Amino acid sequence: MLVSATEMLNKARDGKYAVGQFNINNLEWTKAVLLTAQKLNSPVILGVSEGAGKYMTGFKTVAAMVKAMDESLGITVPVALHLDHGTYEGCYKCIKAGFTSIMFDGSHFPIDENVAKTTELVNVAHGLGLSIEAEVGAIGGEEDGVIGKGECADPAECKQIADLGVDFLAAGIGNIHGVYPANWEGLSFETLAAINQAVGEMPLVLHGGTGIPDDQIKKAISLGVAKINVNTECQLVFAEATRGYVEAGKDKQGKGFDPRKLLAPGFDAICAKVEEKMRLFGSVDKA
């Protein structure tokens, strides 16, 4: 059931759990996430980066695939199709394509420009019944060519963006995209607590969910995080499972080279990882 992310994240915030955003990269990813969410009776957000959208031949293709798959699989749990780290232009493309939620990442702009562009996109999105996420501070690492140093967000700027009417807010608290380095200092809970106090009931978003220790995930949820993004971890387990299948020579047994067989171990690995995360986030049976 395709919906905006507003209601599911408000419920998560109030219920002290988080909804997982699992980025999709192709049909297998999408099917794995949807079936696991349905199995666990969990709301879910399908994240699409601009790079992944381009890879899948455009946002129209992605939206059509997700809508058709949602219907054909009989999915009844709430599902949001969400643009991840969107540019100003990308947001409009996703709105036109039929996404139910967008993220405008204006964190690399001066705060006044971030405010102006976010204000415009909030009005457009809400006029169409879509939810919108904004960002303050920088998420470390690289995402579609945008490199962030992981600067912690300014709580005052978070309040300024939150007051524009966005539905949920991503704020840098020392989190990064990709695999965390061995010398990572961990999340800044002091910053998160200050942001939480500044924005009130606004659901907060934790990007870079791959590799954050479970205890830090749970503490972040207790401090207002209601959406946690996972991408790299699913890519890693998919690659590992596929490599194991090939290295075992199973692709040479019978018709093991058939893509439906070749990709099955990776598909199963994504399902298992998504289930693990949904249970950790506390979203099971919250649909």
Q: 3-class secondary structure for the chain? A: CECCCHHHHHHHHHHCCCEEEEECCCHHHHHHHHHHHHHHCCCEEEEEEHHHHHHCCCHHHHHHHHHHHHHHCCCCCCEEEEEECECHHHHHHHHHHCCCEEEECCCCCCHHHHHHHHHHHHHHHHHCCCEEEEEECCCEEEECCEEECCCCCCHHHHHHHHCCCCCEEEECCCCECCCCCCCCCCCCHHHHHHHHHHHCCCCEEECCCCCCCHHHHHHHHHCCEEEEEECHHHHHHHHHHHHHHHHCCHHHCCCCCCHHHHCHHHHHHHHHHHHHHHHHHCCCCCC
Of the candidates 70, 84, 105, 167, the residue annotated as catalytic is 84
Q: Is 84 assigned a catalytic role?
A: yes
What are the residue numbers of the active site?
84
